[in-house]
């Protein structure tokens, strides 16, 4: 599961990781975002050690959401080496999300 942590800069989170970082841009009031939480728990279990999952509350960090042009929630952005390599808007079933991520992690 994604862990809650404070960070000095979002850039250090996405570029300072040895693993690809999947960022879940969400809001607490967003129903589909709450559905993604369970899906991401399963994705984390299936892809353990292959990526890091980070959740960003767009209400608490609007500047980060704006910087990454987040218009719909939930939006998942996969970063490798600090650069976005894939973007998924909306809810995907666990199996589809795992398959899509595996193709980017290979």
4 lies in some domain? no
Using a pLDDT cut of 70, give the percent of the chain over it.
92
* pLDDT at residue 3 greater than cutoff 60: no
Question: Which residues have a catalytic role annotated?
Answer: 30, 33
5 lies in some domain? no
Radius of gyration of the chain measured on its C-alpha atoms: 13
pLDDT digits (tens, 9 = 90+) for 49-85: 999 999 999 999 999 999 999 999 999 999 999 999 9
- Write out the E strands in 1-106: 21-26, 52-57, 75-80, 83-89
38 three-state secondary structure? helix
Domain ranges, residue 53:
10-105
Provide the domain count of the chain. 1
85 lies in some domain? yes
Mean local confidence (pLDDT), 39-46: 96
Long-range interactions of 97-103: CB distance < 8 A, separation 24+? 97/39, 97/43, 98/43, 98/46, 98/47, 101/22, 101/43, 101/47, 101/51, 102/47
3 lies in some domain? no
pLDDT digits (tens, 9 = 90+) for 16-31: 889 999 999 999 999 9
Separation of CA 21 from chain center? 7
């Amino acid at each position: 599961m994604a862990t809650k942590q404070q960070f000095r800069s979002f850039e250090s989170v996405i570029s300072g990781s040895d693993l690809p970082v999947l960022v879940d841009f969400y809001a607490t009031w967003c129903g589909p975002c709450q559905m993604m939480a369970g899906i991401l728990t399963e994705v984390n279990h299936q892809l353990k050690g292959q990526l890091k999952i980070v959740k960003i509350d767009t209400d608490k960090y609007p500047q980060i959401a704006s910087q990454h042009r987040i218009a719909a929630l939930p939006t998942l952005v996969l970063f490798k080496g600090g650069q976005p390599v894939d973007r998924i808007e909306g809810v995907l079933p666990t199996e589809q999300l795992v398959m899509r991520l595996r193709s980017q992690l290979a």
